[in-house]
Structure 1
Amino acid sequence: MLVLLPPSEGKAVPRRGRPLDLATLSFPALAPARSEVLAALARLCQGDPDRAAEVLGLGPTQADDVRRNASLETAPTARADAIYTGVLYDHLDLAGLDAAARRRATRQVVVTSSLFGLLRPGDRVPSYRLSGTVRLPDLGPVAAHWRGVLDPVAREAAGSGLVVDLRSGTYAAFWKPEPDLADRVATVRVLHESQGRRSVVSHFNKATKGRLVRALLEDGAHPRTPAALARDLERLGWTVEVAAPDRHGTRLDVVVTEV
């Protein structure tokens, strides 16, 4: 099973740690593409900081993010599961899992990253700021850059197992599984139900996805199809509705009334 997560936009900043070494990261086939993004981001942030902030969509209180982006190759690193923060990662709490569940996370969880393409939880990376919607000078749209190289890598990571896609729309654009994988792709959407109405609410969505992945890792479930995943989630206490399959996979709607 391959569990695809979005990154967090905000990130922890390690105070110490060895510098970035691309050769040590998972998915080594992505090294050239990673180097291209790193170089383009560094050039931008080593120049006019105001222009860099504008391109990156950052405000006046985020000048430190621009400065950190300018020196990523020498900045201290930490495990990706310590770098990514926010609601989803707080509720996933990878560091709090028992040893068996952590081993499953190492094998199954992959984070989509604007800077690195794909990362495993144990990959050591610096804190950075780069949204998936950014168009970098000399590189172009970040999403298009990764869309051109991720397919063979993601396919290899998935193997013959189920792909559980919990990414937001921005990061889902980095890799869209082809129709030949559709029968083993489950895209999870979280709906908040209140007073008979359903909607997508960011906090509920992120918190539920974090808890859902944690529950699967703790349980050790190994579903092979979207329908089997739905049954596992229902067994674990979730309300799940399965949509009709399409050429890209099957959507599972997880309906919640509270976090």
Structure 2
Amino acid sequence: MLLLLPPSETKNDSGAGGALRLGELGFPSLTHTRRAVLKAIGELSRDRDASIRALKLGPKQHSEVDRNRVIRRSPTMPAIDLYSGVLYDAFDARTLSSADQVRAHEVVAVHSALFGLVRAGDSIPSYRLSFDSRLPGTTLKRAWGSPITSALERSRGLIVDLRSEGYAGLGPVPSTLDSIYVRVLARDDSGRVRALNHFNKQAKGLFARAIVASGAEFHDASELVDWAVGEGYEVALNGREFELVVPSVTGQPGRLMATLR
């Protein structure tokens, strides 16, 4: 089983690991593409104005260019700890039990715009790059599409795709694999179901954490549905889309944590 998470633009800067070692990252078939993308972002970062445009940085974000200039020698930390923001705050890897942290490193992968797929425990540095960033001479979709799809073809068991549509488009899951794409919906007080926007990432983080903490190994979508229903989730399987329905939430984000299950 493999849980695919999107990255986050917000990242932690307190890494204590050594410099990046590409050869030690998971999904080694992506090493060649990782080198190419690192080279492209290195070239881009030499031109501050071009970097600001390509990375779509606002006036208060120009320091992100400096972050990209030192990627190769920056301290690293496990990917699951590097990313911050709503989804990763909800997943809260640091509060998992020791056994669950080991399991997260085994079954969770993050789709980075810079490194492609990385395992939760892979040590990577902080950087700034998004799925729609423009690099010299290429696009990230062109760079990552085939290599990521090929890497996923080597996976075994169910793939639970919790990525945003933008990142899912950078490396589609092969149609020949047993996979589901998780879509979060909200049910309001009248019973109507609609897309969940603001709390979508939080719901995905909480759901991914619950899967890891369950200790279960789901071999196909029906097993995941059975488990989720047994745990009190409202879910539906429509083809390859797994719909996670949560109560409509207004007010503080914390309310979703209390009402998701």
TM-score for the superposition, normalised by structure 2: 0.90
Match of 1:170 in 2: 166
Is 2:149 aligned against 1:151?
yes
Query: C-alpha separation between the residues in 2 aligned to 1:75 and 1:7?
Result: 19
Match of 2:184 in 1: 190
Matching of residues 46-195 of structure 1 within 5 Å:
46-47=46-47, 49-138=48-137, 140-156=138-154, 158-159=155-156, 161-181=157-177, 184-195=178-189
Query: C-alpha separation between the residues in 1 aligned to 2:112 and 2:15?
Result: 21
Q: Which amino acid aligns with 1:121?
A: A
Kindly indicate whether the alpha-carbon contact (under 8 Å) linking 2:2 and 2:159 is maintained by their aligned counterparts in 1. Answer: yes
Query: C-alpha separation between the residues in 2 aligned to 1:256 and 1:187?
Result: 16
Query: C-alpha separation between the residues in 2 aligned to 1:149 and 1:15?
Result: 28
SS in 2 for 1:180: coil
Change in CA separation of 1:15 and 1:180 when aligned onto 2, cut-off 3 Å: closer
Query: C-alpha separation between the residues in 1 aligned to 2:83 and 2:27?
Result: 19
Query: C-alpha separation between the residues in 2 aligned to 1:39 and 1:190?
Result: 36
Cα shift at 1:15: 5.6
Match of 2:25 in 1: 25
SS in 2 for 1:179: coil
Match of 2:36 in 1: 36
**Which residues of structure 1 form unaligned runs of 5+?**
none
Query: C-alpha separation between the residues in 2 aligned to 1:113 and 1:63?
Result: 21
Task: Quote the sequence identity (%).
Answer: 38
Query: C-alpha separation between the residues in 2 aligned to 1:20 and 1:27?
Result: 15
TM-score for the superposition, normalised by structure 1: 0.91
Match of 2:11 in 1: 11
Cα shift at 1:16: 4.3
Query: C-alpha separation between the residues in 1 aligned to 2:171 and 2:33?
Result: 14
Match of 2:245 in 1: 255
Report how many aligned residue pairs link the two structures. 248
Query: C-alpha separation between the residues in 2 aligned to 1:163 and 1:15?
Result: 29
Match of 1:238 in 2: 233
Query: C-alpha separation between the residues in 2 aligned to 1:220 and 1:236?
Result: 13
Query: C-alpha separation between the residues in 1 aligned to 2:31 and 2:111?
Result: 15
SS in 1 for 2:176: helix
Q: Which amino acid aligns with 2:237?
A: V
Query: C-alpha separation between the residues in 1 aligned to 2:103 and 2:18?
Result: 26
Match of 2:259 in 1: none
Query: C-alpha separation between the residues in 2 aligned to 1:85 and 1:240?
Result: 27
SS in 2 for 1:148: helix
Is 2:195 aligned against 1:200?
yes
